[in-house]
C-alpha cells in the first residue's frame, strides 16, 4: 500500500506512461475515424477531427522517441 502523497512512479516514468497511453488510445480513435471516412463521405467536422487526431499521434510519437533515444 502506498503512503499518501507518495507517487508510485517517478516523473520520467509518469511522462512515459502518459505519452504511451495518449499515443495508443489516440491511434485507436484515429483508426475508427479513418474507417468511417473510407466508408462514408466525411464532412468538415470529421475531417477536422481526423486532422487533430493525426497531430496528437505524431506529437506523442515524437516525444516518446526523444525520451527513449
For 5-16, the pLDDT digits (tens) are: 777 889 889 999
d(CA 55, CA 69): 21
The residue extents of the domains of the chain are: 13-68
- Distance in Å from the first CA to the final CA of the chain: 33
Residue carrying C-alpha cell 489516440:
26
What is the model's pLDDT at position 65?
A: 81
| Mean pLDDT value across residues 35-51 | 93
| Mean pLDDT value across residues 20-36 | 96
Amino acid at each position: 500500500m502506498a503512503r499518501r502523497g507518495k507517487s508510485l512512479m517517478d516523473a520520467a516514468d509518469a511522462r512515459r506512461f502518459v505519452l504511451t497511453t495518449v499515443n495508443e488510445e489516440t491511434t485507436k480513435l484515429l483508426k475508427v475515424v479513418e474507417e468511417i471516412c473510407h466508408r462514408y463521405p466525411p464532412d468538415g467536422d470529421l475531417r477536422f477531427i481526423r486532422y487533430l487526431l493525426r497531430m496528437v499521434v505524431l506529437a506523442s510519437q515524437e516525444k516518446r522517441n526523444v525520451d527513449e533515444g
